[in-house]
Amino acid sequence: MSFASPLFLWFFTPVVLATVLLSPRHWRNGVVAGASLLFYAAGAGPTTLLLLACMVVNFAAGHYLEPDEQDTNRKRRRRLLFGVVGFDVAVLVVWKYAGFATEQLAGFARLLGGDFPVVHLLLPIGISFYTFHHISYVVDIYRGERPALRKPVAFVTYIAMFPQLVAGPIVRYREIADQLPQPRTHRLDDVASGFPRFALGLCKKVIIADSLSPLVEQCFATPADQMTFAVAWLGAITYTLQLYFDFSGYSDMAIGLGRMLGFRLPENFARPYSSVTITEFWRRWHMSLSRWFRDYVYIPLGGNRSGAAKTYRNLCIVFVLTGLWHGANWTFLVWGMFHGALLIIERGYGLDRAPTDPLRRVGRRALTVALVVFGWVFFRAADLGQALVMIGHMLLPDFSGLTDEVDAALGNQVLVVLLVALAILFMPASPVTGPMLESSRGRTATVLRAVVMGPGLLWATILVATGTFSPFLYYQF
């Protein structure tokens, strides 16, 4: 069930919100938990059983991972932690990567004249996200940062909360633990604050991202012998914009929905394309994922505390895992390694600090955006061959122009949306629109709320009603 579908917008969400508002306070987590499992089951089908099994294992383990006053059971707790985290990782690896791994083995076997069976498993929706939530839960309890939840309903509410279950933001347990105990306050003010944020996300997704989608598809579907400099750059830039407005739109909708339900979810984007360095980009893009890898992988590996060589090693590990986390494909691995290498170069040459000179900042921002655009080609391409063909044409100018198919996809309406999206891309680093709409009471925020909730929401609603929406891009992860 997509956030941008009529069923979700006009039936599911109003019913859930009304039920939460009208229910006694000590029932509200139960309403959210039940609605979340229903929401997930509607899209995941039988793989919902896998989510339930993982929740049972992690909830049961949480009680035994808490340290006592003298922490006399540390070794037992550590063994249990390794076991539970190993279980969570194994579930993710089997369901997400077994097919890819066996395909590689089968290809190698064919080279040797043999045969190897390929495993085909149905990828559960949101498995990457709820696996990271489970790991955060048990690790934060083990570290003594938060106590284990005593009520299964509160635990289900955290893991399966439908605003963030499918595509984030990734909510570390310690960020939300204090919001989960019942009874939880919930006011109409939360609905009033969260709805503009939700409307902003819907506009980003339906009006901008979905309008650019056909053009992206056509550019990346261009055969290698017809690819041109113009098609390659148009496809890469348009996808750069589509991905941002699609994913940040989802995050805005999730944060807005969470606020309407009485929860404060963490921010996930902060104008990432305004970054002056790749280091800054990763502080602004998918921030909840960056924080998760920092807290549960990078720092436990030693972070930057043990010299340059180990720091670079840790960065490599994190970005290899970041690439693989996004999908079982060589393209994602190369994308992660590309960004890891850029971070190492910046750190090694002292380029991770933004320059203060205005002209240098403009130049560094342009370079950063260009590098990110090149990276997104690997992220979007079907395989490495397609990515290398596009990048090759991006680096070798020609005067062939657009193909007839791409030119047809770039109609007047799409061109206007593309120009608007580009204008937004070049806006300053602050203020960030989402938080401003949600909490600011200034004149600018008031005007923006009126635009988003007036003509913007009306236009988005018409597009949804006509069936022009598409699934969120991060649903596949």
Mind giving me the DSSP string for 368-392?
A: HHHHHHHHHHHHHSSSHHHHHHHHH
Residue 93, both tokens: 């690896």
Q: Half-sphere exposure of 391 toward its Cβ, with a 13 Å CA cutoff? A: 19
Residue in 286, 326, 339, 393 annotated catalytic = 326
Q: How far separated are the first and last CA of the chain, in Å rounded?
A: 16
Cβ-contact 184, 442 below 8 angstroms: no
How would you class 167 by CB atoms within 10 Å of its CB: exposed for 0-12, middle for 13-18, buried for 19 or more? buried
Give 20-26 contacts, CB < 8 A, sequence gap 24+.
20/186, 20/261, 20/262, 21/186, 21/188, 21/191, 24/183, 25/182, 25/183, 25/184, 25/185, 25/186, 26/182, 26/183
What 3 state SS string does 459-472 have?
A: HHHHHHHCCCCCCC
From residue 326, alpha-carbon distances to 166, 194, 205, 407 in Å are 13, 28, 20, 31
What 3 state SS string does 80-92 have?
A: HHHHHHHHHHHHH
Residue type, 278: I
- 326 catalytic? Reply is yes
- Residues tagged active-site: 326
